[in-house]
């Protein structure tokens, strides 16, 4: 029996792809090991979203080859595999398999080719209408499960590699998503996270024809499912019906991740995001008007080509206006194939660093204020684990906030349980509390 090791970089979609790849390998008779040293086959499931992410895998490949590479077979999966294709064989000649996410259905055949001694096996076609579905998925978490509902992306944001690395949009049928949800609920999962680069452009390809809000609502009505989350939403396709679904179904978590990228309509146009600041703010107002106290989070890019001080100020102003619960913020990174490569007026690295620091400081102040508002309130937490160093249970609220708490005098494992917790302290990134009896 052959042994394999897999390391995963990048987003939740990649994490879930790895769960499906692992299931596929196990079903082909391979055995999973926990270190690359023990493995005969070493897989890297890679990310190319920013230059730093891409460099990581080449660094791993070089470093590992020198130390323990002898006799092992290396495979590069995911977004760098798709983007670099056969060039990977030149950059890292000890790699034998290069396969993008749109070709994972063909992994079993490719493994046979590898076994028969082929040292240049590729899966690089993006010309597909298939999604990668397998009954073998080997999930990491016994309580919370990912389900991919749509793959690829049909947008063309000027900075982004994803349309090139994951191919065109393909939605799964609603029947297939519902049957996976039912199965997971029966197996004891209580939280579902629906995944896609752009979940709200979900379009059921079957005659049922469900849109995203309908799918979301139905997943949340499956018996045993207590929480449903979804990422990521593109503002352009974000409909009011999603908020209506959340208002009418408490199993749908009151959290929406709606990446804005910039607060300047001029930069949004240059990024080809297909919405203006005002259109984005209209969606924010829908959420703020909801009785469910929806937490709102976002992604921000600073230093996009041509971003002036005034544009940047507009982003800071937007942070103040929305008051996000948290954000991910990034310095713009030039990426292969993207249309922004051709833009003049690149922003200097030191200036990007300066803007990023200012964004993060501004947001930190907002989070301190927002989190302080939870002092004294009681929140339902899903328990994710126990922190021995602090003797605290690690909980997550419906709004996706970390709420660490004490529960004295009990030592049974609470992981996966739902408890009511009173908030006693608030920091910029998490809350602390005590379980309510």
Instruction: Give contact residues for ligand SF4 (rule: CB under 6 A).
Output: 153, 155, 157, 160, 162-163, 197-198, 234
Phi, psi angles (nearest 5°) of residue 263: -95, 0
Per DSSP bridges, beta strands 73-77 and 95-99 are parallel
> DSSP code of 211?
B
Size of the site for ligand SAH (CB under 6 A): 16
Helix (H) or strand (E) holding 84: helix 78-84
Phi, psi angles (nearest 5°) of residue 111: -65, -40
Comparing CB distances to ligand SAH, the nearer of 10 and 395 is: 10
Cβ 434 vs Cβ 418: under 8 Å: no
Tokens of 332: 């713009």
Q: If contact means CB under 5 to 8 A according to the sort of partner, which of ligand F3S, ligand SAH, ligand SF4, none does residue 163 touch?
A: ligand SF4
Per DSSP bridges, beta strands 150-151 and 144-148 are unpaired
Tokens of 95: 């790699």
For the CB of residue 152, give the shortest distance to ligand SF4 in the complex, in Å: 9
Contact letters for ligand SAH, residues 203-242 (x by CB under 6 A): -----------------------------x-x--------
Select from 4, 5, 10, 431 the one that contacts ligand F3S (CB under 6 A): 10
Tokens of 326: 């948290």
Q: If contact means CB under 5 to 8 A according to the sort of partner, which of ligand SF4, ligand SAH, ligand F3S, none does residue 303 touch?
A: none
Q: If contact means CB under 5 to 8 A according to the sort of partner, which of ligand SAH, ligand F3S, ligand SF4, none does residue 10 touch?
A: ligand F3S
Comparing CB distances to ligand SF4, the nearer of 163 and 305 is: 163
User: How far apart are alpha carbons 239 and 342 in whole angstroms?
Assistant: 33
User: Does 162 interact with ligand F3S (rule: CB under 6 A)?
Assistant: yes
Comparing CB distances to ligand SF4, the nearer of 65 and 155 is: 155
Applying the rule CB under 6 A, the residues between 292 and 311 that interact with ligand SAH are 299, 301
Cα–Cα nearest to 9, from 64, 58, 62, 74: 58
User: Does 48 interact with ligand F3S (rule: CB under 6 A)?
Assistant: yes
For the CB of residue 78, give the shortest distance to ligand F3S in the complex, in Å: 6
Cβ 284 vs Cβ 322: under 8 Å: yes
Select from 3, 40, 50, 424 the one that contacts ligand SAH (CB under 6 A): 50
Tokens of 228: 């449903």
What contacts 302, CB < 8 A, 6 or more positions away? 312, 315, 329, 330, 331, 332, 352, 355, 356, 359
Cβ 230 vs Cβ 197: under 8 Å: no
Per DSSP bridges, beta strands 392-397 and 378-387 are antiparallel
User: How far apart are alpha carbons 137 and 22 in whole angstroms?
Assistant: 7
Sole window of 10-18, 35-43, 226-234, 261-269 interacting with ligand F3S (rule: CB under 6 A): 10-18
For the CB of residue 274, give the shortest distance to ligand F3S in the complex, in Å: 19
Q: If contact means CB under 5 to 8 A according to the sort of partner, which of ligand F3S, ligand SAH, ligand SF4, none does residue 417 touch?
A: none
For the CB of residue 229, give the shortest distance to ligand F3S in the complex, in Å: 17
Q: Which residues bind ligand F3S (CB under 6 A)?
A: 10-11, 13-14, 47-49, 78-79, 161-162, 165-166
Q: Which residues bind ligand SAH (CB under 6 A)?
A: 49-50, 159-160, 197-198, 232, 234, 259, 261, 299, 301, 330, 332-333, 335
């Amino acid at each position: 029996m052959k042994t394999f090791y897999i390391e995963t970089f990048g987003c939740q979609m990649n994490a879930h792809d790895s769960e499906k790849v692992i299931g596929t390998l196990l079903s082909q008779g391979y055995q999973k090991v926990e270190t690359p040293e023990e493995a005969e086959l070493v897989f890297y499931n890679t990310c190319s979203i920013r230059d730093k992410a891409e460099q990581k895998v080449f660094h791993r490949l070089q470093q590992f080859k020198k130390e323990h590479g002898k006799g092992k077979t290396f495979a590069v999966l995911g977004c760098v595999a798709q983007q670099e294709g056969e060039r990977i064989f030149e950059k890292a000649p000890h790699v034998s398999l290069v396969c993008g996410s749109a070709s994972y259905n063909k992994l079993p055949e490719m493994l046979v080719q590898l076994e028969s001694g082929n040292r240049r096996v590729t899966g690089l076609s993006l010309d597909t209408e298939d999604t990668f579905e397998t009954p073998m998925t080997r999930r990491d978490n016994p309580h919370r499960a990912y389900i991919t509902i749509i793959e690829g992306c049909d947008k063309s944001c000027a900075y982004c590699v994803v349309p090139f690395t994951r191919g065109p949009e393909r939605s799964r049928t609603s029947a297939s998503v519902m049957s996976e949800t039912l199965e997971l609920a029966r197996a004891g999962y209580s939280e579902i996270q629906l995944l896609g680069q752009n979940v709200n452009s979900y379009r059921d390809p079957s005659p049922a024809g469900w849109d995203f809000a309908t799918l979301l609502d139905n997943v949340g009505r499956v018996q045993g499912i207590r929480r449903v989350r979804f990422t990521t939403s593109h503002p352009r396709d974000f409909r009011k019906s999603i908020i209506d679904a959340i208002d009418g179904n408490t199993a749908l978590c009151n959290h929406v991740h709606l990446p804005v990228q910039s607060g300047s309509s001029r930069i949004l146009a240059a990024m080809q995001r297909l919405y203006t600041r005002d259109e984005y703010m209209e969606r924010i107002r829908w959420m703020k008007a909801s009785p469910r106290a929806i937490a709102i989070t976002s992604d921000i890019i600073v230093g996009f080509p041509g971003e002036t001080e005034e544009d940047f100020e507009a982003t800071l102003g937007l942070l103040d206006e929305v008051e996000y619960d948290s954000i991910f913020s990034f310095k713009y990174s030039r990426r292969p194939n993207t249309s922004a490569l051709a833009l003049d007026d690149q922003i200097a690295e030191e200036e990007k660093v300066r803007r990023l620091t200012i964004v993060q400081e501004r947001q930190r102040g907002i989070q301190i204020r927002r989190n302080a508002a939870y002092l004294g309130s009681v929140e339902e937490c899903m328990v994710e684990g126990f922190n021995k160093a602090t003797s605290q249970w690690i909980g997550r609220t419906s709004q996706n906030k970390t709420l660490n708490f004490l529960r004295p005098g009990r030592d049974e494992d609470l992981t996966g349980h739902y408890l009511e917790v009173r908030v006693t302290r608030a920091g910029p990134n998490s809350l602390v509390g005590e379980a309510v009896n």
